[in-house]
Each structure stands twice: as C-alpha cells, then as structure tokens.
Chains A and B, each alone.
Chain A
Amino acid sequence: MKITRIAGVSVSAIFKHKVRTFLIVLAIMVGVATITVIMALTRGANKKIMQRINNFGPDAIMIHSGGGKLEGPATASEANLTKKDIADIENIDGVTLVSPFQVALDMPIKYGNKFTTSWVWGIKSNWKDAWKRGATKGEFISDADNEQLSKVCVIGQTAVKDLFGTSDPIGESILIENTSFKVIGILEKRGQAPVGADFDNLIVIPFTTASRRLMNQPLYIAMARAIVINPSAVKKVAAQIRDVLRANHNMADTEEDDFRITSPVEITKMIKSTSRTLNNFLWLVGIISPLVGGIVLMNIMLMAVSERKKEIGLRRAVGAKKKHIIFQFLAESLMLAFAGGIFGAVTGIVVTVMLAHSGKPVVITWQPFAAAFIFSAAIGLFFGIYPAKKAAALDPANALTQ
C-alpha cells in the first residue's frame, strides 16, 4: 500500500531526527500530563464535596446560636436557643426530629499522664438518630444518663488513639477539664466535618451534665440539628425555621439574625466558592499547557519543513504528489503527538498517584487516557496541518535548488 509506504517515511523521519522528536514529544507530554492531573484533581475535589455533604447529611439542617459568624459550631457560652425554640421547630411540617446539643471546643482532656484536646458536646439520646452515628463499641448516652446527670462519655476515635493508644478505653475514667467521666463507648468513625475539622476528635456526654456541670449554661442551648423527611424540602424548612426563631426572639425586621442556619445547600455553596478560583486557574493552565505543546509542535515542524526543503523537492521530482507530502508530514505530527499523549497520560497518572500519596483527594479513571487520545489527535491535526500544507505547497523546482 502506498499509504503505508509513505507512513513508513514518516516513521523513519521520526527516528532520524532524534532531538526534534524528543522536543515535540516532551512538549505534548507536558500538556497532556497537565490535563490528566487536573482531571484527576477536579474529580477528586468533587468527590470530596460529595463526601462532605454526605458527612453533613443531605437531609439535615443545623441551627447555630449567635449570628454573624460564617462557619464553625456555636459554643455554649454564646448559646441563645431556648427549649421553646426547639419545641417549635419540632412542630414544623416535614421535620422528623430535632436534637439539641451543647458545644465546647478544644477542651483539655487527661487520662493518666496522657493529654489531648477535643471537642466536647452535650447531647440527648436522639443525637444518634439525628447524626446516624452511634457507638461502635460499648454503650451510647441514654435518656437515663441525661436524667441522672451521669458523668459518662462516649469518645471519638482520634481521642481514643491520643489517650489510649491500642488499649481498651471502655470502663476507664478520663478528666474533662478536671471533671472525671467514665468512658462507656466509642463513637463511630465519621471523618472530616464540612468545615474541615476532624469529626472524630469529639467526645459526647449527656446534655444535662454538659449544661449544668461542665459548661455552666443551664438556660440556653448552643446548637440543634433538625432532620427533614424529604431532602429536597431542606430549603423550604430552613426558611420556616428562620421565621419561627425570629418570631420567638422578638426580632425587628431591621435586625440581623441572632442565629445561623446551615443546610447542605449552603455547605455546597461554601465549599465551591473557596475552590472556584483555584479550579478556574487550574483549568486555564490545563487549556494553555496543551496549547503551548501544540505551538511547539507547529514551530518545530515548520522548521523541519524549511530544513527539509531539498528533500521535499526531491520527493516531488521523483513523483510524490502534493497529497503524499501532506500525508507524510501530517502523519509525522500525529505520531509525535500520540507519542506525547501516551507519555503524558502515563506521567499524569504517576504525578496523580504521587499527589494521592501526599493526601490530595484524587480520582483516577480511564478518562485521562481518552482525553490524552483526543487531545493529542486534535493537537497533531490542528497544529500539524499548516506545516504539512506548507511543505506540499513548495515549488518543487525551487525546493530542489535549496
């Protein structure tokens, strides 16, 4: 076949001009590797957002005391939610349950000579249902614990690791800010909170014990978590909760909320806004990088054409048609671009794996290879056609005398 013979000419040119081949492949490789890494990072970031939303709970609404603040939990010292607030929220249509809790951040925890800090939350027994999170081992906080103001706690796995290492914590006593609590269970693992904090560095104790013994907040409630029947109704219910709280707190229309409501809608918005600038920048780099690779390819191919004028003239003299010359140079560009694409995808995967090891969330799929294929074909064709046409357009008589 004539076409395979001409493709053979392209292949041998690729092997005869090693420096040129190396430079083009390198340029395309960098471009495709960039795209590959960016795809993995973006998919990783999206997966992380989904995970955080799932951690938060797609059917949950959080009510924080105090307004103004943008993120993070409200603590017992700023608590301003009342028992009536909680009861009124419970009565809203579509709300299945409301679980109030007290919050203290970074409390000093001691066990023997070990020391750590942890969030301490005072909770009701329905916390388990509101967070879909109970004890993996031992008991959970019960209604009786709340009635008796028991000094018991269920501790998160980070605290377990920090204080007990590998030994069994159940039945041991720990000091939370100098008050002794008996460990009755270990909390289920949860991972990162939407705001980025470690959800496993948490110790829960009975609500009443927290209010009266530990946080000195017998009147008000720091936070509550409401669960709705239908996740799609979250926005509507959140608005109703706001109306109820504003009415209960006797707020004038001009006043700003003295509480804050967060739902998965806000969480998504919050995470996306912090990553948007970076994402746009990444994609810009991702587009520019292969483009630069393509320009390098075109540049070097143009140089190759003017360097090989005499060869082109000779080929024309012995009978090559214009289309043969176009095919020869286009095939050269395409093969170089593909080689760059393959190396680029492999390099991209290697870099991605390295990023994954350094803790960045990434997702590796088949798509980078498809993208590398499409990108390098597009680059090879788009940036290769002009040099190829230029080569074919050379006047054979002139080219021969170069």
Chain B
Amino acid sequence: MIEFKDVTKSFTSGIVKTDVLKGLNFRIDKGEFVAIMATSGTGKTTLLNILGCLMKASSGSYLFEGRDIETLNDDQLSEIRNKKMGFVFQSFNLLEKTSAIDNVLLPLVYSDVYPSDAEQKAAKLLESVGLKDRINYKPGELSGGQQQRVAIARALINDPAFILADEPTGNLDAVSAKEIMGIFKSLHSQGKTIIVVTHDINIARQAARIIFLKDGKVEKEEVLK
C-alpha cells in the first residue's frame, strides 16, 4: 500500500525557489492498476522520483507498506527499490552491449540472495513477454517494443509488489504500445500492482483508476472499472 499525505517538493536554484508538488494526497492499494495522468511541467517526473524512492519529499509523508520513507536511509531505500519495485522507463534504460537475459538479471546483482535458478527464471520471464528466441540479443538488435518488453521482464525478476512505469509507451508506435499495455493488463490480472504515469489520456484510460494531477496537486480521481 502506498499513501501520500500532503506531500510537497520544492527545488531551489540560486535564490529562486520553485514549488513543484504542492500537497499531494492519494493512496494506492495492493493489486490496483492506477494511471497518474499529468501533462509535462506539472511535476510528473518529480512525483515519479518520489514514488520510486529515488528522491525524498520536502514535507508531508510517504508511507510505503506502512513505513515512512522519510525516516529511511540511502541503503534502506536501495533495498526497497531492489525488492519491492520494478521500474519501467520511457527510454527503456537497458544496458548497452549486454544481452537481454543479462539485462533482466541486473536487479539480482544487488540482491542479498541470488536464486540458483535465476537464469531459468529470467528466461521464463522473457518467454512470458514473447521474447523466447531473443534471450541473447543485445538492445541494439531489438525493436523498441521488444526492448520495452525486456525492461518489463527486468522489472519482474525480483517479484516486486509494485511496477512503476514512466510513459512506458512514449517511445513506441501504436502497435507496440498496445502490446505493452496488454502485458500490463495481464500482470494486473495476475495480482501485480501497476502504476503508470503518463500524459496520454488514451493510455491512462486503460487503467482501472486515474489520478489526475494539475499544478502540483491532485485535481480529481476517476474510477473506470
């Protein structure tokens, strides 16, 4: 469960202070498929960084499975990212010159336990996203849609509670975008919690609930399914 209570974030550049998030309140329960709808310049990236434990809020509290993120140190945040979250980025962020399977295995490098069947697990995940015969391909040899599927497999390798996707279809054509959203839907039906941050209302509408962000605040929420 994720809960934001009056979360604010401001940046200071020189003497100019910019308030990006101005008191966000929302909660996302386990098993939900939520879209956070935000046009650029409304603090979308900042919200994503705070949600992903890559950055701390200026004030307010962020409760992650009941723990206040504010009180955790850098190493503890790294552990949460490693075990509890799977990131999917707009620009895929795969390691160059590294095979699909090794990219999928990346989070395990930093886990305390390295399962003995890690390679099989990674291969299975790649298979489940339709890349069975592309296991040893490098990112440069894969299409955008295929690269994003590798990234999704990577996000799933540690069985995280949450999948956090940042414009996952932003760099893809319509067909690939549809396929990726299809994968998210099926993951949701398997019980994963999916959070997609997007500026595209058509993408947002495929989620079960939409949180609309405007001007650093939650404008409204809309339950679709």
Residues of A within 8 A of B (CB): 2, 5-6, 8-9, 12, 16, 310-311, 314-324, 395-397, 400-401
Contact A321 to B75, CB < 8 A, known contacts A2-B110, A314-B95, A315-B110: yes
Q: Quick one: which of A2, A318, A395 has the most chain B CB within 10 A? A: A318
Docked pose: A395 CA to B82 CA in angstroms:
17
Instruction: Classify the secondary structure of A's interface with B.
Output: helix
CB of A319 within 8 A of CB of B110, answer yes
| B74 pairs with A318, CB closer than 8 A | no
Q: Is B79 an interface residue (CB 8 A)?
A: yes
Are A2 and B54 in contact (CB-based, < 8 A)? Answer: no
Closest B residue to A320 using CB positions: B110
The reply to whether B55 and A318 contact each other, CB–CB distance below 8 Å, is no
- Indicate whether A400 sits within 8 Å of B54 (C-beta atoms), given known contacts A2-B109, A320-B110: yes
Q: Judging by beta carbons under 8 Å apart, are A318 and B112 in contact?
A: no
Bound CA–CA A86/B90 (angstroms): 101
* Closest Cβ neighbor of B110 among chain A residues: A319
- Residues of chain A within 8 A of B158, CB atoms compared: 319
Residue of A nearest to B154 (CB): A318
The 3 closest A-B pairs by CB, nearest first: A319-B82, A397-B49, A397-B54
On whether A318 and B107 interact (CB within 8 A), knowing A16-B97, A400-B54, the answer reads yes
Interface string of B102-115 (1 = CB under 8 A from A): 00001111111010
Q: B114's closest neighbor in chain A, by CB? A: A5
Provide the residues of chain B in CB contact with A319, threshold 8 Å. Answer: 78-79, 81-83, 107, 110-111, 158
B189 at the interface (CB under 8 A from A): no
* A318→B82 contact, CB < 8 A: yes
Q: Can you add 5 more A-B contacts, CB < 8 Å, to A2-B114, A315-B110, A321-B78? A: A2-B110, A317-B93, A318-B154, A321-B74, A322-B75
Instruction: Using CB atoms, name the residue of chain A closest to B54.
Output: A397
Contact partner of A5 among B75, B87, B109, CB < 8 A? Answer: B109
Q: Are A315 and B106 in contact (CB under 8 A)?
A: yes
Residue contact B87 to A318, C-beta cutoff 8 Å = yes
From 180 to 199 in chain B, residues with beta carbon under 8 angstroms from any chain A beta carbon are none
B114 touches A396 (CB 8 A): no
Q: When the two chains form their complex, are residues B78 and A401 in contact, meaning their CB atoms are under 8 A apart?
A: no
| Known contacts A314-B95, A400-B89; is-contact A321 B110 (Cβ 8 Å) | yes
- In the bound complex, how far is the Cα of B109 from the Cα of A311, in angstroms? 14
Which residues of chain A have C-beta atoms less than 8 A from B95's C-beta? 311, 314
Is B52 part of the binding interface, using a Cβ–Cβ cutoff of 8 Å?
A: yes
B81 touches A324 (CB 8 A): no
User: What are 16 contact pairs spanning A and B, CB under 8 A?
Assistant: A2-B111, A2-B112, A2-B114, A5-B108, A6-B110, A8-B109, A318-B106, A319-B78, A319-B83, A319-B111, A320-B78, A321-B79, A323-B75, A397-B52, A400-B54, A400-B89
Q: How far is the CB of B44 from chain A (nearest CB, A)?
A: 12
A6 contacts B109, CB within 8 Å? yes
- Minimum C-beta distance from A305 to chain B (A): 16
In the bound complex, residues from chain A placing their C-beta under 8 Å from that of B74 are 321-322
Interface presence of B120 (CB below 8 A) = no
Q: Which residue of A lies closest to B49 (CB)?
A: A397
With A and B bound together, what is the CA distance between A310 and B94 in angstroms?
A: 10
| Minimal beta-carbon separation of A231 from chain B (angstroms) | 67
A310–B78 CB distance below 8 A: no
Q: How far is the CB of A325 from chain B (nearest CB, A)?
A: 10
Question: Is B71 engaged at the interface, CB distance under 8 Å to the other chain?
Answer: no
| Chain B residue, CB-CB nearest to A1 | B114
A317–B80 alpha-carbon span in the complex (Å): 10
Which residues of the other chain, B, contact A5 by a CB distance below 8 angstroms? 108-109, 114
Q: Is B143 close to A, CB under 8 A?
A: no
The answer on a CB contact under 8 Å between B81 and A397 is: no
On chain A, the residues within 8 Å of B128 by CB distance are none
Contacts of A314 in B (CB 8 A): 93, 95, 106
List residues of chain A with CB within 8 A of the CB of B58: none
Residue of B78, B106, B111 most packed against chain A (CB within 10 A): B78
Contacts of B108 in A (CB 8 A): 5
The answer for the CA separation of A323 and B93 in the assembled complex, in Å, is 22
Asked whether, in the complex, the Cβ of B75 is within 8 Å of the Cβ of A397, the reply is no
Is B10 in contact with chain A by the CB < 8 A criterion? Answer: no
Q: How far is the CA of A348 from the CA of B223 in the complex (A)?
A: 74
Cross-chain contact A317 with B110 (CB below 8 angstroms)? no
Bound complex: CA A260 to CA B154 (Å): 87
Q: Closest residue to B87 on the A side, CB-wise?
A: A317
Q: Given A16-B97, A311-B95 in contact, is the A317-B54 Cβ separation under 8 Å? A: yes
Supposing A2-B112, A324-B110 touch, asked if A318 and B89 sit within 8 A by C-beta, the answer is no
B residues 92-138 in Cβ contact with A at 8 Å:
93, 95, 97-98, 106-112, 114
* Distance A319 CA – B86 CA, assembled complex (angstroms): 10
In the bound complex, CA of A323 to CA of B75 (Å): 9
Nearest CB of chain A from residue B78's CB, rounded to whole Å? 4
**Closest CB of chain A to B40's CB: distance in Å?**
13
